[in-house]
Amino acid sequence: MELGVVGLPKSGKTTAFNALTGGKAETSAFAGTQAKANLAVVKVPDERLATLDRLFKPRRVVPAEIRYVDFPTSPKGLGRTEGIAGSFLLELSQVDALLHVVRAFEDPSLPHAEGSVDPFRDIATMDLELIMSDLSVIDRRLQKLQSSLKVARTQEREAINKEAESLSRIKSQLEKEVPLRDQELSQDDSRLLSGFQLLTAKPMLVLLNIDEASLERRESLETELQKRYRSARRNGTVVCGKLEAELAQLSLEEGREFGQAMGIHESGMAKMIRLSYQLLGLISFFTVGSDEVRAWTIAQGTAAPHAAGKVHSDMEKGFIRAEVVAYKDMARCGSIAAARQQGVLRTEGKTYTVQDGDVITFLFNS
């Protein structure tokens, strides 16, 4: 899973990136135009892995991973409702979801470009940037379809007209500032748009970046944020990026103790990962053994053969069946053999839908 971190200039975006990843990216480097993005791979915290490690004592434990890409904050036009274009747009279109860092802190030494701090104004500005980028992509496609229609054969015209009709309908909603994630799209529309990787179709997490003085208002700010923006494919939360970045540089135990003293009971990284999984509809299953205990990330609703394919393509091709134990049963029983004896190990076939926390052994023809 890859998340693209975006934000208007001086939003504290790279500070938030450091908080989420435990990184040490230079925060002042993105004050001007920057050619390259910051990259970080984060291990997904999952307490269930510690239990499975204790039970199976493997040579190694492999958590799931999330890749964060901190995009440069000042590509040409960003924040001026001119849309996003060029290599920045190409890179951003490849991510699975967007993490929009929004400034909600006061800092006289870092004046806001608009002269005042107004997070909800800035959210609307970024939304408009993304919409303008999508409109530009759709306009170019409509122009190409119009040109194709002039030389198309009779049997090709119907498909061209159908696509143009769908894109025009979608465009009209974008012009009303309705992002794709909030539009009611048919299956045909979704299939059509899948190849474009449009930005407003991507799930989005809005991260309100506050200062320490606002920590007491964190819950009320989060309530207001979610009241305004929460939907099936957008969610929001509140984090003190500067404080979280400092906590991320401490040991796990020191960070937890200091965070709790400040009223932070879940790290910014853990919170973002949890919300990311919810927003993208992702779950984890586990494979276990003496060599390795590993967490695998899949979409909710994934059938057993496709889950096997995450482990190895040969497992999907030669899938026979899956032996499945729910995590809670495995933790209680203590071993595969005990789970079998107690009747909680199930044999599942090709139609089985993998559930979050399943501990699975795949049987297959090589």
- Give yes or no for a contact between 70 and 56, defined as CB atoms under 8 angstroms apart: no
Cα separation of 93 and 354, whole Å?
A: 29
- Give yes or no for a contact between 246 and 255, defined as CB atoms under 8 angstroms apart: no
Closest listed residue to residue 77, CA positions, set 121, 122, 132, 37: 132
Helices (H), 83-231: 86-92, 119-151, 154-175, 187-194, 218-229
What pLDDT score does 30 carry? 47
Superfamily classification of domain 1-46+64-282: P-loop containing nucleotide triphosphate hydrolases (3.40.50.300)
- Rounded to the nearest integer, the mean pLDDT of the chain is 89
Highest mean pLDDT among 17-21, 32-36, 221-225, 308-312: 308-312
Domain range annotation of the chain: 1-46+64-282, 301-364
Whether the per-residue pLDDT at 316 is higher than 90: the answer is yes
With pLDDT > 70 as the criterion, what percentage of the chain qualifies?
94
Whether the per-residue pLDDT at 82 is higher than 60: the answer is no
Closest listed residue to residue 269, CA positions, set 5, 18, 12, 10: 18
CB atoms within 10 A of CB 73: 23
Phi, psi of 362 (to 5 degrees): -95, 130
Query: Using one digit for the tens of pLDDT, what is the confidence trace for 323-363?
Result: 999 999 999 999 999 999 999 999 999 999 999 999 999 99
Range scoring the smallest mean pLDDT among 13-22, 162-171, 220-229, 248-257: 248-257
Phi, psi of 221 (to 5 degrees): -65, -40
Q: What's the average model confidence in pLDDT over 16-44?
A: 74
Whether the per-residue pLDDT at 85 is higher than 90: the answer is no
Q: Which fold has domain 301-364?
A: Ubiquitin-like (UB roll) (3.10.20)
- Give yes or no for a contact between 8 and 283, defined as CB atoms under 8 angstroms apart: no
